[in-house]
Amino acid sequence: MKPYRFVIAASACALLASCASVSSLDPTALIQSGQMATQAAMLSDADVRALTDKSCAQLDSENQIAAANSTYQKRLNGIAAQLGDNIDGVPVNYKVYVTKDVNAWAMANGCVRVYSGLMDIMNDSEVRGVVGHEMGHVALGHTRKAMQLAYATSAVRSVASSAGGVAATLSGSQLGDFSEKLINAQFSQSQESAADDYSFDLQKKKNLDPSGLVTAFNKLAQLDGGKSSMLSSHPASPARAQHIQQRIASNQ
């Protein structure tokens, strides 16, 4: 049985991209790491909710949230009213993080966060396009897949298991690592394009002008990479702006 178990663990490490030092792990650690990777790939809806609830709560506690009566939150409330209060039936809660960083993200539990740095350089139409894009990653299952990988690569550092559910297996530091990986998840070119189209289609469905997507991409492309964590996880390609411009022109 030992060779078979080692193959499972080694395969899990190949999946994880953070197992360069596999030789430094003992067989027991490899087996348990493989089990946790398998568990990550089979996360239930309850597991997803528990992990994202914990992650969002931690990030909220670590960031300054704009006051309800602030200009930032009022702007976001207006955008939220246009986009809707749910993603395929999952209730959405919108908040603004007061920070100079330029970013926005959404989680599978409906947690949507927009950074004030992004709102400072974009008008409401552009912010709406970006938020719609992030909601697209959720609706299309991209964030769930990213969450599985983030969980696996965070939990692989631990060889302990828990009967309290997958969320209970993460220590505070692991949860922080998981959250960072999740909000900075790298999406494929096809996933980015699909999320762009989701935002476009959502806005057209609600009789909104989707042209903000084009100008938002152009603004992101002009930013210094050091000023926006969004550029590393959501590359602002001129081709993406052109694609949306073509859809606008063809009204499709």
Token couple for 213 = 């997507």
Active site residue 180: no
| Cα R_g (the chain), whole angstroms | 19
Token couple for 134 = 């992030």
pLDDT of residue 238: 78
Cβ-Cβ contacts under 8 Å for 232 (sequence gap 6 or more): 184, 186, 225
Within 92-171, where are the H helices?
Answer: 116-121, 124-139, 142-155
What does the pLDDT profile of the chain (252 residues) look like in tens digits?
A: 433 332 223 333 333 333 333 334 444 443 344 555 555 566 777 888 888 999 999 999 999 999 999 999 999 999 999 999 999 999 999 999 999 999 999 999 999 999 999 999 999 999 999 999 999 999 999 998 888 887 777 654 453 344 456 676 677 787 888 888 888 888 888 999 999 999 999 999 999 999 999 999 888 888 755 455 565 556 567 788 888 999 999 987
State if pTM tops 0.85.
no
Neighbours of 226 (CB within 10 A): 7
| Ramachandran category for residue 98: left, alpha or beta (phi over 0 → left; psi -120 to 50 → alpha) | beta
Distances in whole angstroms, Cα of residue 9 to Cα of each of 13, 25, 34, 232:
6, 11, 4, 30
pLDDT of residue 121: 95
User: CB–CB of 54/177 below 8 Å?
Assistant: no
Q: Which uninterrupted H or E stretch holds 211?
A: none
Tokens 């493989």, residue located: 34
State the catalytic residue, choosing from 126, 134, 180, 192: 134
Amino acid at 231: L
Domain ranges of the chain: 1-42, 44-250
